[in-house]
């Protein structure tokens, strides 16, 4: 079946099977920043934005995305680079496998929460699992990033 999507502000068409997940369709078509970790929607590695909302693309049927705007890390390069600088500054990126999903969640959080507390940040990012960093560096970096962009 044919699927028409708007990805990073570009119209794209794909031939898919009815049961294909959005993560698989995106990866198959060159959006390799969309990574998979659990295939159950619980680790956050596959996070993308649909209409500005973070979703787990590994458990989201591709056909549901028709008519919506999809953002991957490739579509927010400048902001992603800035967030990465904060993460690197706090030693919070080691393998980097989970980083695209985390960064997209931070971008969504910035739009949805006004001056979030540490507890609100933790709650918003509860679905982003990382096996390398221990989360403290990530939390410090995200707080510093949000303080800079809010001011």
Spell out the domain ranges in the chain: 2-74, 76-150
pLDDT of 151 reads 55
pLDDT of 93 reads 81
Structurally, at CATH architecture level, domain 76-150 sits in Orthogonal Bundle (1.10)
C-alpha 62/C-alpha 70 separation (Å) is 11
C-alpha 79/C-alpha 41 separation (Å) is 24
Q: Which residues contact 93 (CB under 8 A, 6 or more apart)?
A: 84, 87, 99, 133
* Through-space distance between the first and last CA atoms of the chain, rounded to whole angstroms: 47
Tens-binned pLDDT, residue by residue, of the chain (151 aa) = 999 999 999 999 999 999 999 999 999 999 999 999 999 999 999 999 999 999 999 999 999 999 999 999 999 999 999 999 999 999 888 888 999 999 999 999 999 998 899 999 999 999 899 888 778 999 999 999 999 887 5
Name the E strands within 8-125: 10-15, 47-50, 53-56, 69-71
Fold exhibited by the domain 2-74:
Ubiquitin-like (UB roll) (3.10.20)
């Amino acid at each position: 079946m044919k699927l028409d999507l708007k990805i990073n502000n570009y119209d794209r068409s794909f031939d898919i099977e009815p049961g294909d997940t959005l993560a698989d369709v995106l990866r198959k078509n060159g959006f390799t920043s969309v990574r998979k970790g659990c295939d159950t929607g619980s680790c956050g590695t596959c996070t993308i934005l649909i209409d500005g909302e973070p979703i787990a693309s590994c458990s989201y049927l591709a056909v549901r995305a028709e008519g919506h705007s999809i953002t991957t890390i490739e579509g927010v390069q400048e902001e992603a680079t800035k967030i990465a600088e904060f993460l690197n500054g706090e030693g919070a990126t080691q393998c980097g496998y989970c980083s695209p999903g985390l960064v997209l969640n931070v971008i969504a959080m910035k739009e949805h929460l006004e001056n979030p507390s540490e507890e609100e940040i933790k709650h918003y990012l509860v679905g982003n699992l990382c096996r390398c960093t221990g989360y403290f560096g990530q939390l410090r970096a995200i707080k510093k990033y949000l303080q800079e962009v809010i001011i």
